[in-house]
Amino acid sequence: MQITPTQSVESLRLFIGQLSEPPAALLSKAILSILVLAESLVCIFWIYALSGLGEGYALMAAVPYVYFVLSYTSLLIFYRLKRFDYFTFIQLVMLLVMPYFMQWLIGGFSASSGVAIWAILSPVGALMILGARQSTPWFVLFIGLAGISWYLNPLFAGNALPIPTHLKDIFSVINMAGLSVILYIVMRYFQSQKAKVLDALAIEKARSEQLLLSIFPQSVADSLKISDAHIAEHHDAVTIMFADLVDFTGVSADMSPADLVNLLNQVFSRFDELTEKYALEKIKTIGDSYMVVGGVPVSRPDHAAAVVNMALEISGILAEVSAATGKKLSMRIGINSGPVVAGVIGHSKFSYDLWGDTVNLASRMEQLAIPNTIQVTEATYQLLQNEYIFETRGLISVKGKGEVLAYILKGKR
């Protein structure tokens, strides 16, 4: 079985050329391939150098040749059985024992110029491929074989065949410079991949942070990152607004699903800009309904004014979107002020929400509002009557509340 350097490189190229694999697996294969290729190139030198010394050195040259045979045979087995773990184990074993066998056959430390130092590639490879814990046994074996080599060195040296001085010098250069180059290349490659992973993690962390902030207020998101304890807070004074598109089912009846979603996205994206402008907190969208609150999670004295200021700008946004899309859009808006409980519910899918009679009454204000009007409760009216113009609508019947006094917000004074 004749294996040439070209065949070796081509086999390793195929080995690392597989697609659709996890990054960790690709990194492991790349590192192992570099180590095997480096060992293969050194083995080629050993085979040619030792074979040129005569027939008496054939056994020495056979060791790296056996490495070639076993290495690339195991590579073929891996491709057939898809067992990277099997191939890894075989390679780490050969990387560990082959240099020691070479040293023993050549005649110990001095005669071989310490060729066994190449065995350090085995625990180093295990460290980068298998991890710190699983690499420990490989390093222990490396130290153990080094101890055996030292203890039996007189025996090996006594049976040593003469090696030309110039060849021993070449061995020394290769063992020092070659191993140093290989270790540097492997460590540099590993470090570069590690840097890429850390950069990718930083990007993903930033995306996760942004996603978290798109679902929860900043303070709530910070609390969730610190602890998974339930979050529930009572707020004495907040203002809640519900805004619902009027007859949106009829407006969107002839629209494709993609166009419908695009229309809602245009409207609600503009609403999101208003929530940022007035430092309000968007709670959720339910179909074609939009819920926002002022005074949560951080209390503020102008919670009612901030909410109605946003409400007053909605008609302008609807006019712009209607002109751009050709769809006549109108809304009912209901606003109420009072105490609420705010918190996070859910186990696998979290949701930040509000509860209490204040929320229910705000929702009723929206449901019972006249299209294209902003209807507020007595509580909100009392907070803003000196700064805004209201028109009394009178008593309206609210389910579960009876007769409730309502007002229509007309604008600022």
Domains of the chain: which residue ranges? Answer: 5-209, 225-412
- List, for residues 263-310, the tens digit of each pLDDT value: 999 999 999 999 999 999 999 998 899 999 999 988 999 999 999 999
Structure tokens at 225: 């990152």
- Dihedral in degrees, nearest 10, Cα atoms 194, 199, 201, 204: -160
Helices (H), 227-356: 248-251, 257-277, 303-325
Residue at 310: amino acid letter: M
Query: What is the predicted pLDDT for the residue at 224?
Result: 63
Query: What is the predicted pLDDT for the residue at 9?
Result: 45
Residue bearing tokens 């070209």: 6
Structure tokens at 319: 């006019």
Distance CA 411, CA 23 (A): 59
Distance CA 93, CA 202 (A): 37
Choose among 370, 372, 364: nearest CA to 338.
364
Which residue numbers in the chain have pLDDT < 70?
A: 1-24, 211-230, 348
Distance CA 136, CA 119 (A): 14
Q: Is the dihedral of CA 286, 291, 296, 297 positive or negative?
A: positive
For residue 368, give the DSSP letter: T
Query: What is the predicted pLDDT for the residue at 214?
Result: 63
| Beta strands at 373-377 and 331-345: parallel, antiparallel or unpaired | parallel
Query: What is the predicted pLDDT for the residue at 194?
Result: 80
Choose among 29, 42, 135, 128: nearest CA to 79.
29
Query: What pTM, to 2 d.p., does this model score?
Result: 0.56
* Helix, strand or coil, per DSSP, at residue 334: strand
Structure tokens at 1: 């079985």
CATH superfamily of 225-412: Nucleotide cyclase, GGDEF domain (3.30.70.1230)
For residue 297, give the DSSP letter: S
Instruction: Answer yes or no: are the C-beta atoms of 355 and 296 closer than 8 Å.
Output: no
Instruction: Answer yes or no: are the C-beta atoms of 339 and 236 closer than 8 Å.
Output: yes
Residue at 103: amino acid letter: Q
Instruction: Answer yes or no: are the C-beta atoms of 272 and 282 closer than 8 Å.
Output: yes
Distance CA 239, CA 335 (A): 7
Residue bearing tokens 């690339």: 72
